[in-house]
Amino acid sequence: MTESPAHVEVQTAAGRVRGAWREVAGSSVRSAAFLGIPFAQAPVGDLRFAAPQPAEPWPDVRDALEQGATAQRGDPGVTLIPEPSVPGESTLNANVFTPAPGDTAAKLPVLVWIHGGGYFAGSPASPWYDGRAFNRDGVVTVSIGYRLGFDGFGHIEGAPSNRGVRDWLAGLEWVQQNIAAFGGDPSRVTIAGQSAGGGAVLTLLGMPAAQHLFHGVYALSSALADVSPERARAFSTKMARELGVPATRDGFASVSEEEVLTAQRKLSQLDLSSMGETIDEGLGLGPAIDDDLIVRPTTQSLAQGIGSDKPLVLGAADDEFSMAVQDQASKLRWIPLALLLRPFKLSSAVRRGYLAANRAVVARGHAAVLGRLITDKMFRTGVVKTARARGGAPTWVYRIAFRSTKFDAAVHCIDVPFFFDCLDGPAVDALTGPNPPQALADAIHGAAVTFVKTGNPGWTAWSAVPNSGIVFGGATATTAEEVGGFASVEPLL
Residues marked as catalytic: 195, 320, 412
Task: Give residue 105's identity as a one-letter amino acid code.
Answer: A
C-alpha closest to that of 87 among 100, 77, 72, 109:
72
> How far is the C-alpha of 205 from the C-alpha of 141, rounded, in Å?
19
> How far is the C-alpha of 198 from the C-alpha of 111, rounded, in Å?
13
Q: Are 396 and 312 in contact (CB under 8 A)?
A: yes
Handedness of CA 284, 286, 291, 296 (dihedral sign): negative
Handedness of CA 238, 241, 244, 245 (dihedral sign): positive
> How far is the C-alpha of 492 from the C-alpha of 350, rounded, in Å?
7
Handedness of CA 401, 386, 225, 140 (dihedral sign): positive
Query: What is the DSSP secondary-structure string of 439-462?
Result: HHHHHHHHHHHHHHHHS--SS--T
Per-residue burial over 130-159, b = 16 or more CB atoms within 10 Å of its CB, e = otherwise = bbbbbbbbbbbbbbbbbbbbbbbbbbbeeb
Give the 3-state secondary structure of residue 79.
Answer: coil
Query: How many Cβ atoms are within 10 Å of 373's Cβ, its own excluded?
Result: 29
Residue 27 has phi, psi (to 5 degrees) of: -145, 150
Query: What is the DSSP secondary-structure string of 135-151?
Result: HHTT-EEEEE----HHH
Query: How many Cβ atoms are within 10 Å of 214's Cβ, its own excluded?
Result: 23
The secondary structure element, H or E, covering residue 275 is helix 272-281
